Structure 1
Amino acid sequence: MEKRRIDEHTIFRFAGEQDTALILQFIRELAEYEKMEDQVSATEDLLKKTIFTDRKAEVIICEYDSHPAGFMLFFHNYSTFLGKPGIYIEDLYVKPFLRGKGLGGKLLSYAAELALERGCGRLEWSCLDWNEPSISFYKKKGAVPMDEWTVYRVSGEGLKKLAENGQTAGV
């Protein structure tokens, strides 16, 4: 398992299957912060399958003084305009009592390093519009909000119905 010492207190490492419970714990803590706890349906078994068996995403664990401090879950997307892959950060989370130590910025910088190493053309993520501390932080890091774009989502029953509509329409 690759580890990278960031400073005297901080280590980043790619998560392994043994980290599944920790990843789920971080997801739940993030959901609580975002006031979305009721939307977490992930389980350890599902995370093991999708992250470690099917390799649909990657996770970096941040350790501070040898203790789990946060995580970043990301996956590759693709830009047809650039003709290159990109990295999309789905979750970036640092435990509240460790915020202000620069860990979030270091995780973002590490993601940028990975993107460049992997020949990616960009690094992207979403942020809730009420989360002013994060928005301010991201702008200070050079991120630009994509105000002219709106994210659309279909999930759950809507996803099933859309799939069924395509089948009945002869698509």
Structure 2
Amino acid sequence: MFQIRIATEKDIPTIFDLIKKLAVYEKLENDVVTSEEELAENIFAKNFAKVLIAEESGNPVGFALYFYNFSTFVGKPGIYLEDLFIEPEHRGKGYGKALLIELAKIAEAGNCGRLEWSVLDWNMPSIEFYKALGAKPMDEWTVFRLDKKGIRDLSGL
């Protein structure tokens, strides 16, 4: 039995565990510097993000973490999917697609103009999966990032 539900603060250990598993899959495990406490504060106390939990027979098997952004060109809010992860042994069952369908429903209900996410260039299984759903790569865009040190340096604080 499969279900998707909205995460609650009780799910923080599960969310943190799934984030670490995603980082291992993406070969970025050394980049995980957050903690359960920080996730609880930023997701639930400050409401910076929302999380959907995918469960099979009551056991967590994946998640989607997203937040709202805004498009000045479209003039509407959008959803940015930060992370989508299904544990490897549960892939191929339609759970990732189900999470994306749920996000599309949330976006539609919120009159969002876009649902966007990023994928690592080498992750061809995911790229092909997203294309099969009708998603289009934004090849003409380049993502830029300032890390904590870059923010501090630029701010002068």
Q: TM-score by structure 2 length?
A: 0.98
Q: Deviations over 1:58-112 (max 9, x none)?
A: 0000001211110000000100001000000000000100000000011111100
For structure 1, the 5+ residue unaligned runs are: 1-8
Residue 50 of structure 2 corresponds to: 58
Which 4+ residue blocks in structure 1 deviate beyond 3 angstroms? none
Unmatched 5+ residue regions in structure 2? none
Q: Which residue does 1:161 correspond to in 2?
A: 153
SS of the residue corresponding to residue 48 of structure 1 reads helix
For 1:12-161, list aligned pairs within 5 A: 12-161=4-153
| Separation in 1, partners of 2:20, 2:58 | 21
For 1:112 and 1:55, locate their aligned partners in 2 and report how far apart those are by CA, in whole Å. 20
SS in 2 for 1:130: coil
**Which residue number in structure 2 is paired with residue 4 of structure 1?**
none
Percent identity of equivalent pairs? 50
1:19-78, Cα deviation, whole Å (9 max, x unpaired): 001000000000000000000011010000000000000000000121111000000010
Q: Tell me the distance in 1 between the aligned counterparts of 2:115 and 2:2.
A: 23
Aligned length: 157
C-alpha separation between the residues in 2 aligned to 1:157 and 1:87?
Answer: 27
- Aligned Cα RMSD in Å? 0.8
Match of 2:142, as an amino acid?
T
Indicate the structure (1 or 2) with the bigger Cα radius of gyration: 1
Deviation at 1:119, TM superposition (A): 0.9
- Higher RCO, 1 or 2 (CA under 8 Å, sep at least 6)? 2
CA distance in structure 1 between the partners assigned to 2:8 and 2:106 by the alignment: 18
SS of residue in 1 equivalent to 2:83? strand
TM-score between both structures, scaled by the size of structure 1: 0.90
